């Protein structure tokens, strides 16, 4: 019994220490952000390109790639947005990289034909094998691209009309290989889920990306809303489909090759946030697994590379950031045995040193507030009503915890090398509170059996709350309560969505019966 106790204490202590370090990293990001944030303003060094006076011969050709896969609801919105981008038509090529297996293919073909009649240089490239998934589509399109620069937008985006005139001038520096811009939100006010997601994304794009870029640390292309120098892509080894985050992978390979990136927080491209828990979990699973796959692939190269220790250290933390989720799960699982292992009284627990252990853990939980400060600062920088928006911060903490089971599975699969297909996040064109998810029934995701585990983890955490209060260990209750509510929200929410999907026949089936 003593051996088990010692083992649990060691595991818990190491786990808390690692979580503390990840939390402190958030404070570091906020500090770095404040140091030189003006570097990430697009008008800080260069003025936007004035097309009214520019000589057409001096305007470079840009290819815009639009990778889509079964995007029936949003492909028209995407093309409408791209058509508004300010750039001479004679210097703009648009590639619709279509891997669709449904009637999105026919819809995209019709739209492309219409825009071609309007004078756009636009092509519809449809693949049937889906080899390499999104990375394969981008690579196939790149081989045919006319532009020396390649911009990429996913189907859920509406490009900023000034996107090119504010980013292309920075490629005058021959060392710049990619320019990334900030994601905005089309439907942040749709639900509490989208409100919380918007805060999470704001934290990354307003704090993390700025902190890294303005301090000459490595940052990543976010898969969309950015533009690449074609030469950089080729020199870095081109798009590769061996991870689920081909954007992260290519970014670090390019930076390992010596290329530099720029990021601009004042160029915003709004995107649609996942409107369902199932879609959100699917997106986060892919991001988590892909990040860890990229870490497994590139960390050995990073450690051997000839870069300073600050760049390497930040790169390692960046690549391993999703390790927070398995560490959280481990923390929860070990807490209850430690509460019960030495009896049922405060005296016996204190005598065994367990009370002291939890007290130290509570003190180190100051690192837990790092992400909270991180998100508060991002909201303060972006929104005049940021104080009112803080009411959604607990919801962000809850859903961030609630997806820990799913993301832990993704983390484990990445570490042991389990391969999985690229699962797209459904884009349903949910733009306002009046839009009804029931009317968007084409791309329903299957029920996730892990929802039962999430509910079990929720009640497990609440059990920890009960015993921590019974033993006078009140310092554990705030965190375990948030953890428990987060798991229950995600677990029961997933079941609710599955039941609604099962009860509502597909719209197409209803129309057939009506006919």
Task: Provide the β-strand partners of residue 479.
Answer: none
Q: 99 catalytic, yes or no? A: yes
Q: Which two tokens stand for residue 285?
A: 């699973």
Q: How far apart are CA 200 and CA 321, in angstroms?
A: 14
Q: Which residues of 359-387 are buried (b: 16+ CB within 10 A; e: fewer)?
A: eebbebbebbebbbebbbbbbeebeeeee
Q: Do strands 149-152 and 226-229 pair parallel, antiparallel, or not at all (unpaired)?
A: antiparallel
Q: How far apart are CA 416 and CA 419, in angstroms?
A: 9
**Sheet hosting strand 92-98, strand order edge to edge:** 121-126, 92-98, 62-68, 149-152, 226-229, 176-185, 260-271
Q: 385 catalytic, yes or no? A: no
Residue 419: burial class (beta carbons within 10 Å; 0-12, 13-18, 19+): exposed
Q: How far apart are CA 50 and CA 431, in angstroms?
A: 32
Q: How far apart are CA 234 and CA 505, in angstroms?
A: 47
Q: Which two tokens stand for residue 494?
A: 């997933």
What values do phi and psi take at 212, rounded to 5?
-70, -50
Look up tokens 């911009």; give the residue: 151
Residue 449: burial class (beta carbons within 10 Å; 0-12, 13-18, 19+): exposed
Q: Which of the residues 15, 156, 202, 247 is marked catalytic?
A: 247
Q: Which of the residues 15, 98, 99, 202 is marked catalytic?
A: 99
Q: What is the DSSP string of 212-280?
A: HHHTT------SSSEEEEHHHHHHTT----SSS-HHHHHHHHHHHTT-EEEEEEEEEEEEPPP-SHHHH
Q: How far apart are CA 83 and CA 158, in angstroms?
A: 10
Task: Provide the β-strand partners of residue 62.
Answer: 92, 149
Active-site positions read 99, 247
């Amino acid at each position: 019994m003593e051996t088990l106790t010692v083992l649990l204490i060691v595991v818990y202590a190491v786990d808390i220490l690692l979580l503390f370090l990840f939390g402190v990293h958030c404070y570091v990001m906020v500090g770095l952000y404040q140091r030189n944030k003006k570097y990430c303003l697009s008008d800080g060094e260069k003025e936007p390109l004035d097309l009214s006076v520019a000589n057409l011969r001096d305007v470079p050709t840009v290819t815009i790639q639009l990778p889509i896969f079964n995007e029936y609801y949003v492909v028209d919105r995407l093309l409408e947005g791209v058509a508004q981008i300010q750039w001479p038509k004679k210097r703009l090529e648009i590639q619709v990289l279509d891997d669709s297996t449904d009637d999105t293919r026919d819809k995209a073909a019709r739209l492309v034909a219409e825009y071609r009649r309007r004078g756009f240089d636009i092509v519809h490239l449809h693949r049937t094998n889906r080899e390499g998934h999104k990375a394969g589509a981008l690579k196939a399109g790149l081989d045919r691209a006319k532009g020396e620069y390649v911009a990429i937008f996913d189907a859920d985006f509406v490009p900023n009309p000034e996107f090119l005139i504010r980013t292309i001038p920075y490629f005058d520096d021959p060392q710049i290989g990619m320019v990334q811009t900030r994601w905005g939100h089309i439907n942040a006010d749709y639900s509490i889920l989208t409100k919380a997601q918007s805060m999470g994304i704001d934290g990354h794009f307003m704090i993390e990306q700025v902190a890294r870029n303005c301090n000459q640390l490595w940052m990543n292309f976010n898969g969309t809303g950015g533009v690449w120098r074609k030469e950089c892509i080729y020199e870095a080894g081109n798009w590769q489909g061996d991870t689920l985050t081909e954007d992260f992978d290519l970014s670090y390979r390019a930076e390992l090759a010596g290329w530099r990136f720029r990021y601009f927080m004042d160029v915003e491209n709004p995107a649609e946030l996942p409107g369902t828990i199932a879609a959100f979990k699917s997106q986060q699973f892919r991001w988590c697994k892909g990040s860890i796959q990229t870490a497994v692939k590139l960390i050995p190269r990073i450690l051997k590379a000839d870069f300073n220790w600050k760049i390497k250290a930040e790169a390692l933390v960046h690549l391993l950031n999703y390790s927070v989720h398995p560490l959280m799960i481990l923390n929860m699982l070990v807490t209850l045995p430690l509460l019960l292992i030495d009896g049922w009284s405060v005296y016996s627990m204190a005598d065994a040193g367990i009370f002291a252990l939890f007290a130290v853990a509570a003190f180190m939980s100051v690192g837990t507030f790092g992400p909270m400060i991180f998100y508060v600062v991002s909201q303060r920088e972006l929104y005049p009503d940021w104080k009112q928006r803080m009411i959604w911060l607990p919801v962000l903490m809850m859903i961030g915890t609630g997806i820990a089971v799913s993301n832990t599975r993704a983390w484990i699969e990445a570490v042991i090398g389990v391969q999985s297909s690229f699962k797209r996040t459904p884009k349903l064109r949910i733009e306002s509170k009046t839009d009804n998810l029931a009317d968007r029934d084409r791309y329903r995701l299957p029920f996730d059996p892990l929802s039962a585990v999430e509910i079990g983890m929720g009640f497990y955490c609440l059990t920890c709350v009960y015993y921590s209060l019974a033993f006078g260990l009140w310092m554990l209750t705030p965190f375990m309560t948030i953890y428990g509510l987060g798991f229950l929200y995600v677990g029961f929410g997933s079941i609710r969505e599955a039941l609604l999907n099962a009860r509502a026949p597909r719209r197409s089936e209803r129309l057939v019966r009506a006919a």
